[in-house]
Amino acid sequence: MKEKTTNKIIILLSILSIFFFLIGFISGGSLFSLNQSRSNDTSVSFSSNVSLMSSPSLSKLLSVTPKVKVDSVGLYRRNNIVLRVSKSNNIDSRVYYFGSILEQDDKIVMGDWNGDGVSTPGIYRNGNFYFVESYPADNIISEEDVSTMIFGNPNTYYVPIAGDWDGDTKDSLGLYKPDTGEFFLTDIIASDRIVDQATYIVVIGSGAINKIPISGDWDGDGRDSIGYYDSSNGKVYLKNDVTSGLADMYYDVTTYGNVVLDKNNIKIISGDWSNQGFDVPGVYDITTSTFFLRYNHGFSLINYFFTYGDPRIDQYSVPIAGTWVKVIDPINLY
C-alpha cells in the first residue's frame, strides 16, 4: 500500500515538473498574457496558463513539426521594404530597394503571386498592377523583375489588397473603392493581361465607406476574404466569404491587456503569426513603432508585441505582412 502511494506521489511530481517546465518554456519566449505589462515581465499567472495549455494553437506551437507557414511583418519605407525574419529588432532584416521604379502615389501590396509560399511586393498605380514574383539576388527591384497586369479604372482612387480568393494558392489583387465601399476582386494573376471585369464585387454591410480595407483567411478554410478597420471605433469587421452581406465578426483591436492604443494612430495588417491555421488582424502603433499581434479573433489571451523600426522614420511607413521565409518556427520570430 505504502509503496503504491509513493509511486503515485512520484508520478504526480513528474507530471507537475513537466507542467512547470512547459510553463517556463512558454514564458521564456516573448509571448505574453494579458496579465503582463509591456516591460520584460515574464511572470505568468497560474490560472491563465491552465486555459492556455488547453488552447489548440499552443499545442501546435509546442509540437516539433517544422512550421511551414508563419507570417511576419515588415515596413514599406517608400524607397525600400524591410522584412523581419527573426526576433532581433532591426537586425537580420532583409532589405529590398525599389531602385527607380516607384512613383509618388504608388501603393504597395504584398502577396504570393506565384503560389510558391513566399510573399513578394506588388505596386498599384492608376489601373496598372506591377508585381514581383521573386526577390532579386542584388536586393534591388528593377524593371526586369516586374510583371504588369491591367485591373481597375484609371483615374479612380482605390486601395489595393491581396488575397487568394479562390483557394488555388496564388494571391491576386483586390481594389477597395473608399467612396462607395465596394471591393473589386479578381482571381486572375498573370503577366501582360488586361482584366476588365472583377470576379467578385463585394460590399460589407450597408457599405463600408471610407474605411481601411484588409484581407485574410479569417476562418482557415484556405480562401482569403475581406474586412475593414473602422478608425472611428477601433474595430475590425471581417467577412468569411467574398459575397456581399453583413460582417461575420467584429471586435476591437486597440486593447492589449493594460495597453489601449489610440485608434487613429494605428495601421492594420493581417497574417497567421503562429501557424494557427487562420489569419488574424494585427496592429502597428505608429507613435512607438510597435507591432501588436494576437493569436485569436476578438479577445486573445496570448498576444505578441515588439518594436520594429524607428518612430521618427516609421510613423510615415506602411506596415506590411507576409511569409518571407518558407520554413520557420514562430519561436524564432516572436
Write out the residues near Ca ion by the rule CB under 5 A.
112, 114, 116, 118, 164, 166, 168, 170, 217, 219, 221, 223
- Residue 98 vs 324, nearer CB to Ca ion: 324
Q: Phi and psi of 252, rounded to 5°? A: -75, 140
Residues 6+ apart with CB under 8 A from 314: 75, 77, 286, 289
What CA–CA distances, in Å, run from 167 to 149, 200, 214, 259? 20, 14, 17, 36
- Residue 112 vs 272, nearer CB to Ca ion: 112
Beta carbon of residue 81, minimum distance to Ca ion (angstroms, whole number) = 14
- Give the integer Cα–Cα distance in Å for 42 and 29: 9
- DSSP 3-state of 264: coil
- Give the integer Cα–Cα distance in Å for 94 and 85: 7
Q: Do 127 and 137 contact (CB within 8 A), yes or no?
A: no
- Residue 112 vs 182, nearer CB to Ca ion: 112
Alpha helices in 250-317 (DSSP H): 311-314
Beta carbon of residue 116, minimum distance to Ca ion (angstroms, whole number) = 4
Beta carbon of residue 114, minimum distance to Ca ion (angstroms, whole number) = 5
Beta carbon of residue 122, minimum distance to Ca ion (angstroms, whole number) = 11
**Crossing angle (nearest 10°) for helices 46-53 and 2-28:** 90
Task: Please name the amino acid found at residue 1.
Answer: M
- 113: nearest Cα among 146, 73, 79, 154: 146
Of the CA atoms within 13 Å of residue 257, those in its CB half-sphere come to: 18
- Residue 140 vs 190, nearer CB to Ca ion: 190
Beta carbon of residue 236, minimum distance to Ca ion (angstroms, whole number) = 15
- Residue 181 vs 322, nearer CB to Ca ion: 322
- Residue 120 vs 290, nearer CB to Ca ion: 120
Beta carbon of residue 241, minimum distance to Ca ion (angstroms, whole number) = 7
- Residue 145 vs 164, nearer CB to Ca ion: 164
Beta carbon of residue 221, minimum distance to Ca ion (angstroms, whole number) = 4
Beta carbon of residue 297, minimum distance to Ca ion (angstroms, whole number) = 12
- Residue 121 vs 309, nearer CB to Ca ion: 121
Residues 6+ apart with CB under 8 A from 49: 23, 26, 33
Match 512613383 to its residue by C-alpha cell: 103
Q: Phi and psi of 213, rounded to 5°? A: -75, 145
